[in-house]
């Protein structure tokens, strides 16, 4: 199934910004202290004109009521760090395949502004298409079917109506299934270049930035267009994985953390 663009797309006017940061796929979770510590340090020590989080900020999100329970102490801490940073620069959030249930209460707790999938950022020199990227991985048919199911309003309403503890267990089970499927694959999903190029043409963008695939690279497309893929974060790994992709004065560069 080829993805189509939604009727309404967020357009952010960033013409006055000189430094814009992009991150995705941090997969924050309580058992991984290194990623959170690195993220918290970044939020304290860096002051871009804007920060864009392009999905999978959290390893899993089972509903905003999580942060009001004893199960969500870590998540509440993460959102608190974001809220503090949002007093210094705007923070935009575009949902990923792990945290698409993150809703308005959590966004407010983190001082974040919600974005559509995809969105467009207009700078002084470029129009940048922003996406998590999972919707463009057309060859992963099993995931496409799963995504269609869990993004439906009916599925989400039924899931969120369940007790919190049950949702946590369901998410844990789904994660185990996902890990098993990944181990059985001889390839890892990637974005369909032709669809990415088509979206960029339709929205008149010369640059695309996305995450999801964990394959950080800059791909040069037709007519001088560029597709930048963000890294996932793992600061327990050797060597460490993860950096901030910074757009400064019309040029992209990686900022080590």
pLDDT at 186 over 60: no
- Supply the DSSP string of 154-222, one letter for each residue: HHHHHHHTS-HHHHHHHHHHHHHHHHHHHHH-SS-----HHHHHHHHHHTT-SEEEE-SS---EEEE-G
Q: What pLDDT score does 51 carry?
A: 99
Q: d(Cα 171, Cα 193) in Å, to the nearest integer?
A: 31
Domain 10-255 fold: Purple Acid Phosphatase; chain A, domain 2 (3.60.21)
Task: Count other C-beta atoms under 10 Å from residue 244's C-beta.
Answer: 19
Report pLDDT for 141: 82
Domain edges within the chain: 10-255
- pLDDT for residue 190: 87
One DSSP character per residue, 69-137 reads SGGGHHHHHHHHHHHHHTTTS-EEE---SSSTT--HHHHHHTTEEE--SSEEEE-SS-EEEEE-SGGG-
pTM (predicted TM-score):
0.95
- Using alpha carbons only, how large is the chain's radius of gyration in Å? 18
Question: How far apart are the C-alpha atoms of 91 and 24, rounded to whole Å?
Answer: 13
Cα dihedral 3, 131, 170, 26 in deg (nearest 10): 160
The overall average pLDDT reported for the chain is 94
Q: Give the span between the Cα atoms of 188 and 228, in whole angstroms.
A: 17
- The predicted structure's pLDDT at residue 185: 58
Look at residue 219 and tell me whether its pLDDT is greater than 70: yes
* Residue 28 and residue 137 in contact, taking contact as beta carbons nearer than 8 Å: no
Given a contact cutoff of 8 angstroms between Cβ atoms, the answer to whether 226 and 206 are in contact is yes
Least confident of 60-64, 120-124, 194-198: 194-198
- Alpha-carbon distance of 218 to 205, in angstroms, equals 15
**Contact present, 92 and 57 (Cβ < 8 Å):** no
**Over 70: is that where the pLDDT of 184 sits?**
no
Examine the pLDDT at 177 and tell me if it is beyond 90: no
Evaluated on CA atoms 39, 20, 194, 55, the torsion sign reads positive
């Amino acid at each position: 199934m080829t993805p189509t663009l939604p009727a309404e797309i967020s357009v952010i006017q960033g013409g006055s910004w000189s430094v814009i940061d992009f991150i995705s796929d941090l997969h924050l979770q309580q058992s991984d202290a290194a990623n959170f510590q690195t993220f918290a340090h970044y939020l304290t020590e860096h002051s871009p004109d804007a920060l864009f989080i392009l999905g999978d900020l959290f390893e899993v999100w089972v509903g905003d009521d999580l942060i009001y329970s004893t199960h969500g102490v870590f998540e509440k801490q993460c959102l608190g760090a974001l809220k503090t940073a949002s007093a210094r620069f705007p923070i935009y959030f575009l949902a990923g395949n792990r945290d698409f249930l993150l809703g308005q209460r959590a966004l407010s707790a983190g001082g974040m502004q919600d974005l559509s999938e995809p969105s467009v950022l207009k700078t002084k020199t470029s129009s940048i298409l922003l996406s998590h990227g999972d919707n463009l991985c057309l060859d992963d048919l099993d995931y496409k079917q799963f995504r269609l199911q869990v993004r439906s309003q009916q599925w989400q309403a039924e899931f969120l109506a369940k007790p919190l503890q049950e949702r946590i267990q369901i998410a844990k089970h789904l994660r185990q299934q996902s890990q098993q499927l990944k181990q059985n694959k001889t390839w890892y999903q990637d974005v369909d270049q032709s669809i990415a190029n088509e979206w960029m043409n339709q929205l008149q963008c010369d640059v695309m930035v996305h995450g999801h695939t964990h394959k950080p690279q800059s791909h040069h497309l037709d007519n001088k267009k560029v597709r930048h893929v963000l890294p996932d974060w793992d600061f327990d790994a050797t060597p460490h994985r993860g950096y901030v992709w910074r757009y400064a004065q019309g040029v992209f560069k990686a900022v080590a953390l």
